[in-house]
Amino acid sequence: MTALSIAPRAAIAILAATATIAACETSPAAIASAADISPVAADLQSGTGVGVFFPPITSSDTPEIRFSTMPGVGPDQRQFFADQINLVASGAERAIPIVVQAVGDDRKTLVFMPIGGQATATPYIARGILARMTSVSRFLPAISEMGLSQEFDIYNMGAVLGFERIVVTDGRDFSHQAILG
Closest CA to 109 of 58, 142, 60, 75: 75
Instruction: Reply yes or no on whether the pLDDT at 74 is more than 70.
Output: yes
Please give the average per-residue pLDDT across 123-131, as a whole number: 90
Of residues 148 and 36, more confidently modeled: 148
Residue 76 · residue 128 · CB < 8 Å: no
Q: What is the pLDDT of residue 177?
A: 95
Task: Specify the pLDDT at position 21.
Answer: 37
Query: pLDDT tens digit string along 39-55?
Result: 444 444 467 788 788 88
**Is residue 16 over pLDDT 90?**
no
**CA dist., res. 98 & res. 76, Å (int):** 21
Question: Could you tell me if residue 117 is left (phi over 0), alpha (psi between -120 and 50 degrees) or otherwise beta?
Answer: left
Res. 155: pLDDT tops 80 = yes
| 3 state DSSP class of 114 | strand
Looking at the chain, the whole-number percentage of residues with pLDDT higher than 90 is 33
Q: Which band of pLDDT confidence, cut at 50, 70 and 90, is reported for residue 62? A: very high
Asked if residue 66 lies in contact with residue 149, where contact means CB atoms within 8 angstroms, the answer is no
- For the segment 93-120, the average pLDDT, to the nearest whole number, is 82
pLDDT (0 to 100) of residue 15:
34
State the pairing for strand pair 59-61/109-114. unpaired
**Could you tell me the pLDDT band of residue 102, with boundaries at 50, 70 and 90?**
very high
- Confidence grade of residue 111 (pLDDT, cut at 50, 70, 90): very high
Residues 52-60 have a mean pLDDT of 88
Residue 63 has pLDDT above 50, yes or no: yes
Q: Is residue 119 very low, low, confident or very high in pLDDT (cuts 50, 70, 90)?
A: low
